[in-house]
């Protein structure tokens, strides 16, 4: 079959099944029940069955090997090959992987730590770590947050072995190498970027952290050398403690988040009222508690799920999710189905760029309408808080990515101690004395979103590069059209790294992080 014909044929098979899977995903998230979960699993399996079709895969490979004159067709074939590859394993192994992943995932959903002899959910544990000044109570909460690790660690190691078995069957070193190769990441370049991020952030992070540690030591009445992981509000220290941030809730507690979102995107020349109308934005029973944006049919049915309550957190979430929505709506509709999407790190970059507006003095002044004196007073602290949060997050991603590469390189290795070696090296957080436990296994991404974390760091780099290339977003009526033409329209028809260079005039470089971190 000719390349173009093959792309059409596979589009016609995948499009209706993926639309059905997207609808099922939406329904399961706005109304969690056994029926909606079962419908979702069935719809996902139908997509996976097409991607496992070995004859179709052979045709894609054959067509990929012959140079095709049309670059869009050639790119569609390359993307199809990447989508089919991970599914080309013996059916028994594919089923064992799906079952084990689902089993570990549901243990995460059901598990509750124990605090004061009572089951405690994540919010209860986080509330102690955010607000308590009692170090022993904080320690108990932190330990409760890690008990899921001990419960799933051996199954997780088994999942890692199975993922490696599948990857080797496909000719890859391990699962880590397979995921990078099928998502347009070159491993050597990725780790070169991580090394540069390490050297750019090392000194400013150390300086920021010693100031933070001095404040925490005073607050808890201990020596700096006695600070341990439970003194930092987040169980993984992936976000800065509240002692290092700015609380914007008093400025946003009366804000109408939908109106603010519409007003913000109107200012960029981007229409989001249609998305608002299709979205589900208020908290409710049986609805998932986080937020996401989904492009259901790649023809304009874009929806956001959120759980808005007044305040800074959900204001940022709304701008973030509607950044995803603007991107989805900006992709050219006449591309093949498989290209009418984009790389995860690009859409995260756009969403993060929009979410950052909440800490932008211009946005707080012009869109929220805070008095000039308030904005002037907040401005330097907002900059410092943004910088701290970038530093903390970058160091955390270094831990995750290095850890995960080592986990797949040797699933039976001494990962309990290796985890703390990396935390001490990159995050400068001391391990608890005498602790021997699989604390790494408490991080849900290792199970449900393997080899994914670097996308968040690249998202931050891309957000900073967009900020430099396109300037401010507040009431810049042309910026929506500029982003649309240069970044959104091509969808996945270009590789993400080529597209960011095309859109901003420069290849993505960690140097942008150095500039973003200027005090």
Q: Smallest distance from the beta carbon of 280 to Zn ion, in angstroms? A: 17
Nearer to Zn ion (CB atom), residue 145 or residue 279:
279
Q: Which is nearer to Zn ion, 281 or 351 (CB)?
A: 351
Name the pairing type of β-strands 113-115 and 118-120.
antiparallel
Return all residues near 43 (Cβ < 8 A) that are at least 6 apart.
17, 20, 21, 23, 24, 25
Q: How far is the CB of 344 from Zn ion (least distance, A)?
A: 9
User: Containing H/E element for 115?
Assistant: strand 113-115
Q: Which is nearer to Zn ion, 59 or 321 (CB)?
A: 321
Reported as type and span, the H/E element at residue 366 is: helix 361-366
Is 351 or 441 the residue whose CB approaches Zn ion more closely?
351
Among the candidate windows 211-219, 223-231, 246-254, 351-359, which touches Zn ion by CB under 5 A?
351-359
Greatest extent of the chain over all pairs of C-alpha atoms, in Å: 73
Q: Which stretch binds Zn ion (CB under 5 A): 145-153, 201-209, 221-229, 348-356?
A: 348-356
Nearer of residues 252 and 351 to Zn ion, judged by Cβ: 351
Residue closer to Zn ion, measured from CB, 87 or 324: 324
**Nearest to residue 460, comparing CAs of 348, 380, 312, 317?**
348
Which of residues 57 and 328 has its CB atom nearest to Zn ion in the complex?
328
Selected range binding Zn ion among 175-183, 252-260, 329-337, 349-357, rule: CB under 5 A:
349-357
Give the SS3 label for residue 99: helix
Cβ-closest residue to Zn ion?
351
| DSSP labels, 234-283 | STT--S--GGGS---HHHHTT--HHHHHHHHHHHTT---HHHHHH-B-S-
Q: Count residues near Zn ion (CB under 5 A).
A: 1
Among 351, 397, 407, 442, binds Zn ion (CB under 5 A): 351
Residue 325 binds Zn ion (CB under 5 A): no
Using alpha carbons, select from 182, 244, 159 the residue that is nearest to residue 57.
182
Stretch that binds Zn ion, among 176-184, 204-212, 303-311, 344-352 (CB under 5 A): 344-352
Half-sphere exposure in the Cβ direction for 48 (13 Å, CA): 14
Nearest Cα neighbor of 184 from 327, 351, 342, 408 is 342
Choose the stretch contacting Zn ion; rule: CB under 5 A; options: 79-87, 123-131, 256-264, 345-353: 345-353
**Residue 331: CB minimum distance to Zn ion, A:** 16
350 binds Zn ion (CB under 5 A): no
Site residues (vs Zn ion, CB under 5 A):
351
């Amino acid at each position: 079959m000719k390349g173009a014909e093959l792309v059409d044929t596979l589009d016609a098979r995948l499009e209706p099944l993926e639309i059905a899977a997207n609808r099922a995903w939406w329904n399961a998230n706005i109304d969690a029940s056994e029926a909606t979960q079962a419908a979702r699993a069935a719809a996902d399996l139908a997509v996976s069955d097409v991607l496992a079709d070995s004859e179709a895969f052979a045709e894609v490979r054959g067509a990929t090997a012959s140079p095709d004159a049309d670059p869009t067709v050639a790119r569609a074939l390359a993307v199809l090959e990447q989508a089919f590859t991970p599914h080309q394993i013996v059916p028994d192994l594919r089923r064992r992987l799906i079952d084990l992943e689902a089993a570990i995932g549901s243990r995460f959903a059901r598990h509750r730590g124990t605090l004061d002899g009572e089951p405690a959910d994540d919010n209860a544990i986080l509330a102690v770590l955010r607000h308590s000044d009692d170090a022993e109570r904080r320690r108990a909460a932190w330990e409760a947050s890690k008990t899921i690790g001990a419960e799933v660690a051996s199954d997780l190691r088994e999942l890692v072995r199975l993922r490696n078995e599948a990857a080797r069957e496909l000719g890859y070193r391990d699962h880590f190498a397979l995921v990078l190769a099928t998502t347009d990441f070159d491993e050597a370049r990725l780790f070169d970027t991580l090394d540069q991020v390490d050297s750019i952030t090392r000194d400013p992070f150390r300086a920021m952290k010693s100031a933070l540690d001095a404040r925490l030591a005073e607050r808890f009445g201990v020596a700096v050398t006695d600070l341990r992981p439970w003194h930092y509000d987040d169980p993984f220290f992936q976000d800065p403690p509240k002692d290092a941030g700015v609380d914007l809730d008093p400025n946003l507690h009366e804000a109408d988040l939908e109106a603010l979102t519409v007003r913000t995107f109107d200012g960029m020349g981007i229409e989001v009222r249609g998305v608002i109308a299709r979205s589900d934005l208020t908290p409710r029973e049986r609805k998932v508690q986080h937020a996401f944006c989904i492009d259901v049919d790649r023809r304009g049915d874009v929806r956001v799920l959120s759980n808005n309550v007044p305040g800074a957190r959900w204001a940022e979430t709304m701008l973030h999710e509607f950044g995803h929505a603007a991107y989805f709506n900006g992709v050219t509709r006449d591309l093949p189905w498989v290209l009418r999407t984009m790389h995860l790190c690009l859409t995260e970059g756009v969403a993060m760029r929009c979410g950052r507006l909440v800490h932008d003095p211009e946005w707080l002044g012009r869109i929220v309408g805070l008095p000039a004196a308030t904005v002037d007073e907040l401005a330097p602290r907002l900059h410092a808080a943004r910088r701290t949060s970038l530093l903390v997050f970058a160091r955390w991603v270094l831990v995750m990515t290095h850890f995960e590469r080592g986990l797949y390189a040797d699933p039976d290795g001494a990962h309990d101690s290796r985890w703390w070696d990396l935390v001490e090296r990159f995050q400068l957080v001391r391990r608890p004395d005498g602790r021997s436990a699989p604390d790494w296994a408490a991080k849900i991404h290792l199970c449900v979103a393997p080899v994914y974390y670097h996308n968040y760091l690249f998202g931050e780099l891309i957000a900073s590069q967009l900020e430099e290339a396109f300037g401010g977003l507040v009431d810049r009526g042309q910026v929506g059209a500029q982003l649309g033409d240069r970044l959104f329209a091509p969808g996945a028809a270009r590789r993400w790294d080529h597209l960011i260079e095309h859109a901003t005039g420069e290849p993505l470089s960690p140097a942008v992080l150095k500039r973003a971190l200027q005090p």
